[in-house]
Amino acid sequence: MISVVVPTYNEAENLSELLERLDRALAGRSYEVVVVDDGSPDGTAEVARRLAGRYPVRVLVREGRRGLSSAVVEGARAAGGDVVVVMDADLQHPPELVPKLAEAAGRGCLAVASRYVKGGGVEGWPWHRRLVSRGAVLLARILLPEARAVRDAVSGFFAYRRECVANVKPTGLYKILLDVLVQCKPRCVVEVPYLFGLRTRGRSKLGTRHIADYLRQVLALARWRPLKFAAVGASGIGVALAVIHLTSFLPKPVSVALAIETSLTSNYLLNRRWTFANRRTPLLAGWAKYHVATAVGNGVNYATTLILHLLGVWIYAAYVVGVAAGYVANYVTSELMVFIDKNTVNQENCEDTSARMRTHRQVPPRGPLS
Ligand code: GDD
Ligand code: MN
């Protein structure tokens, strides 16, 4: 049996079309719909109970609003199928996709309806909404290796084994798929493209407080690694200043080099043992790579510290400015050497290009970095 879990808050107007379309899409299959309502004032639960005469619907009512994620988990606990399909009630998730998702989940895979694979998309979103959504996905992909398994890790439309979804502990209010990815560790995933439509009835429940909640959730799932990394970096400054102090009898170029190497190594060891404790990084190979990853910044830090010191700046202050300069250098080299803008005009073709630009587009010529 397929259990479709639908969290609802003020969706009375959408239920009848949702259930009708689900029933048509799942014709000939055994299924149930579990509506999990958080005491909607618009009477969603009563409407659902009324429709239960016509469709296989069960209604779970929780008192007080407690969030989409925990509603999904409670729905999965109450469900009777081996597979649960999780979807919104407002028809932004097309019910016609449910059989395909359930079929993939039946094979043991996590099936995700995705806006960000070929053939998928969003309808009528302004650029800033797209940007926030893309930013959210990108952040999850950088911080959570598990989120890299799918393109749309924040989708609210997916299917998986019931028993696993039922045992998830929600870490946020509404991105339950992230919890499923991290806590269930599915052995295979299938992404099915879909068009996230516009809501025609009722209103979205997501607001700005959900952005803060999302950041907190991603950080928590990442076990606070970015904060640990920053704390380690701060400890590294302390280590370096101590080394400069203890080696003050040495010439400054040697003392500063020792300070940078010592803090690099203490940062590396702390990150290996603490920030990235679960990654099993080989000690020496990781140490070598850490040198490469921090080379430009450390070189600039070294040069800046010594130059400022030569100019008469107190060595400890010079070192702190050096660290800041190293940070800026890392940014600039990333921008100009790693994440290159392929559209900048090449010097040799400058004449040609600008001439063409002037005749055809009336745009002033542009230099390589302007
Ligand atoms: N039980 C319960 N409790 N349900 C809730 C709550 C709650 O606190 N908040 C929202 N819901 C229900 C809504 O009634 C709807 O059925 C569904 O959860 C999604 O809420 P919307 O308010 O329509 O969210 P959205 O359209 O902005 O975003 C949705 O789609 C995104 C793209 O797939 C959410 O599902 C997001 O999680 C998802 O990323
Ligand atoms: Mn919606």
Does the C-beta of 158 come closer than 6 Å to ligand 1? no
Atom nearest to 65 CA in ligand 1: 8
Q: Which of 61, 86, 157, 174 to mutate to test the pocket of ligand 1 (most atoms within 8 A of CB)?
A: 174
**Model pLDDT, residue 66:** 85
Report whether pLDDT(115) > 80: yes
Give tens-digit pLDDT for 229-286: 989 999 999 999 999 999 999 999 999 999 999 999 999 999 999 999 988 899 999 9
Q: How far is the CA of 306 from the centre of ligand 2 (A)?
A: 57
DSSP-H helix ranges across the chain: 12-25, 44-51, 68-78, 98-106, 127-143, 162-166, 176-184, 209-221, 225-246, 252-270, 283-310, 315-333, 350-356
Does the C-beta of 170 come closer than 6 Å to ligand 1? no
Does the C-beta of 228 come closer than 6 Å to ligand 1? no
**Model pLDDT, residue 355:** 38
Domain map of the chain by residue range? 2-223+347-362, 225-343
Residue with tokens 């800046």: 304
Report whether pLDDT(350) > 80: no
CA nearest ligand 1 atom 6, residue: 68
Atom nearest to 9 CA in ligand 1: 14
Q: Tell me, which fold does domain 2-223+347-362 have in CATH?
A: Spore Coat Polysaccharide Biosynthesis Protein SpsA; Chain A (3.90.550)
Report whether pLDDT(335) > 80: no
What dihedral do alpha carbons 255, 260, 261, 262 form, nearest 10°? 80
Q: How far is the CA of 125 from the centre of ligand 1 (A)?
A: 16
**Model pLDDT, residue 347:** 52
**Model pLDDT, residue 356:** 40
Q: How far is the CA of 167 from the centre of ligand 2 (A)?
A: 25
CA nearest ligand 1 atom 23, residue: 204
CA nearest ligand 1 atom 25, residue: 204
**Model pLDDT, residue 360:** 42
**Model pLDDT, residue 221:** 96
**Model pLDDT, residue 331:** 77
Q: How far apart are CA 221 and CA 260, in angstroms?
A: 32
Q: How far is the CA of 174 from the centre of ligand 1 (A)?
A: 7
Over the range 49-59, which residues count as b (16 or more CB within 10 Å of their CB) and which as e? bebeeebbbbb
Give tens-digit pLDDT for 176-207: 999 999 999 999 999 999 999 999 999 998 88
**Model pLDDT, residue 344:** 55
Q: How far is the CA of 199 from the centre of ligand 2 (A)?
A: 6
Does the C-beta of 8 come closer than 6 Å to ligand 1? yes
Confidence of residue 342 (pLDDT cuts 50, 70, 90): confident
Report whether pLDDT(296) > 70: yes
Q: How far apart are CA 324 and CA 363, in angstroms?
A: 38
Asked if residues 213 and 172 have their Cβ atoms less than 8 Å apart, the reply is: yes
**Model pLDDT, residue 55:** 98
Put simply, whether the predicted model's pTM sits higher than 0.85 gets the answer: no
Report whether pLDDT(337) > 70: yes
Report whether pLDDT(134) > 80: yes
Q: How far is the CA of 47 from the centre of ligand 2 (A)?
A: 19
Q: How far apart are CA 152 and CA 138, in angstroms?
A: 10
